[in-house]
Amino acid sequence: MADFGALSSLGIGSGVLNYDVIDKLKEADKKLMIKPIENKLDLVKKRETALSQFITIASTVKTDTMDLADGTLFAKVNTKVNGSSISVSANDGVKPQEFNINVKDLATNDVYESGGFSSEDAVVNSSSKDKTITIGVGDIETTITLKANATLADLRDAINNANAGVTASIIDTGSDENPYRLVLKANDTGEDNIIKFDYQNIEDLGLNATTYTSASFASDTDVVNNSGSTQTFSIAVNGVTYSMNVADGATVSDFINAINNGDLKDNNGNSLRISATFEDGKIKLTNLQAIGDISINDTNLLTNFNGNTDFTNSQRLQEASDAHFTYNGVEIQRSSNTIEDLIPGVTITLNSTGKSNVSINNDIDSIIENIKKFVSDYNQMMSNLQSLIAYDKDTGNVGLFQGNTDFRMLERIFSNDLFSTFYTSKQEKRDHNGQTYTINVTYSLADLGFSINRNGMLSFDEDKFKEMYNKNSDIVENLITTAFTKVKNDFSRYATEDNSVLNLLSQQLKDEKKSYEERIESLNKYLDEKYNTMALQFSKYDEMINSFNTQSQSLMMLIQQMIHSKS
């Protein structure tokens, strides 16, 4: 029943002019005026929903075409390694190839171990002043300031914080006496990346365990310089040369005393901290507080340290070395076990010694999987499209867009894009006389395993595709990229872009829906006003009828009284 406020007594007078009559009249007007528009609005909403769903499906199919259209999939490669000595990764676009690697030596880091300390808190700078040390790898050298009374742990932290290409750690060997040792490891491998560490200004860390031994002498009174003139003896430590003069006729004893007195000095007057002794008929130099590039020059002296010294340092746990391997039989040397400059786009990681064979091929499986997904999504889209434009004369069922030329056009356009794309290749043939001649051979997607049935559904024969791909991948790539570029562009033009045919249709439906909603709202307002007015009119009529009824009743009573009075 309509709501008309204070008109709650409507119909009392007449018994006819009541709300039921108004509601029935109003409902009849609604059926006549509003219901047809509501039916149109409902149809527009259904079309709008169906169109949105179709555009979503079409967007999925367009996405499927992207990699096929731009050739990205044809650049993908997969890498197979037969052997465990190497790992290989290849960037997309790398040319298919095969090669073999025979790893002979891995690149290694320089690693040193110090002598033992009682704890991590053992003092390594017992001076009351800050001291400087230098450490580095290869051409990198960093000066570090070590605080007074600094401990072994402080030294480790100072080296690590210096970012000098060396990582320091402290290990507990578990031995009963002095179990803590400082371990230095170069961050990079390669024979050029040796650790250089000059720590002469602090306590001896025991990193240099090499004893430099001279030629044999009968006694310490033997002469070490009989050249007839003063000669120079020098030791170069990581680019810094420490020298001293050795006079003509100088003895072994003179030589030893000069070294122990600090006569070996650099250009700044700093003495080299090293000890010299005479043992078993030889001069021995020990306690050199440095590791790295160390060499001795005793030309024109009789000491011949270079010819009598084993330069192996027992504190050097691992010596920096380059990797050595063959690539297809060619000898290769690199400072790292990660090789990125041998084959453009290919990274080879050396894992161990031994042989491995590598094949890099185009990833045809990825191409096939992408095509299969496209075919599946395309068929889903076409099935959806056909249901939208369907008409069944037997059942009378009609698709929401039956008769819409835009949808019918899509089915034809996409089919033409796929099957009206051709590629012509020149091929050489031989006639029965053995003479060669050239013919043009035209290919289409049908030659790659694509087909379409009368209902517009695609099929894909992957075996046929593989056969054609293995025969001539260039033809396959050209056909696929050309056809799917057309499909992608037409999806944008007709289905997915803002100004596409279907998006314009979507906007048209939105406008229709808005128009219908506004008309319904306007008509409802009109009917509300109309029947509010009618209710007011009914109320006045009802009052008049009620008044007439009351007067009629009074008149009848008066007549009855008059009749009774005369009887």
398-452 pLDDT, tens digit each: 888 888 888 888 888 988 999 998 988 877 777 777 778 788 889 999 999 999 9
Contact 131, 351 (CB under 8 A): no
Same domain, 215 and 292: yes
Q: Is the pLDDT of residue 2 over 70?
A: no
Predicted pLDDT of residue 566:
60
Residue where one domain finishes, among candidates 497, 517, 538: 497
pLDDT band at 47 (very low <50, low <70, confident <90, very high): confident
Same domain, 309 and 391: no
Q: Is the pLDDT of residue 48 over 80?
A: yes
For residue 461, is it within any domain? yes
Same domain, 269 and 190: no
Give one DSSP letter per residue of 233-273, joined into a string: EEEEETTEEEEEEE-TT-BHHHHHHHHHTT--B-TTSPBP-
Mean pLDDT across the stretch 267-285? Answer: 96
Contact 29, 534 (CB under 8 A): no
Single pTM value for the model: 0.72
pLDDT digits (tens, 9 = 90+) for 159-212: 999 999 999 999 999 988 899 999 999 999 999 999 999 999 999 999 999 999
Q: Is the pLDDT of residue 307 over 60?
A: yes
Same domain, 310 and 388: no
What radius of gyration, in Å, describes the C-alpha atoms of the chain? 50
pLDDT digits (tens, 9 = 90+) for 3-39: 444 344 444 444 444 567 777 887 888 888 889 988 9
Same domain, 26 and 42: no
For residue 12, is it within any domain? no
Residue where one domain finishes, among candidates 175, 207, 239: 207
Predicted pLDDT of residue 553:
63
Same domain, 345 and 413: no
**Half-sphere exposure (CA, 13 Å, Cβ side) for 372?**
10
Host domain of residue 244: 211-314
Strand runs labelled E in 298-416: 316-318, 323-327, 330-334, 338-343, 346-350, 354-362
Same domain, 510 and 483: no
For residue 99, give the H/E element and its range: strand 97-105
Judge residue 51's burial from the number of C-beta atoms within 10 Å of its C-beta, 0-12 exposed, 13-18 middle, 19 or more buried.
buried
Q: How far apart are CA 320 and CA 316, in angstroms?
A: 10
Residue where one domain finishes, among candidates 207, 233, 255: 207
Number of domains in the chain: 5
Contact 284, 218 (CB under 8 A): no
Same domain, 136 and 203: yes
Same domain, 114 and 183: yes
Same domain, 471 and 410: yes
Q: Is the pLDDT of residue 1 over 50?
A: no
Instruction: Please name every residue paired with 362 in a beta bridge, in sequence order, or none if there are none.
Output: 77
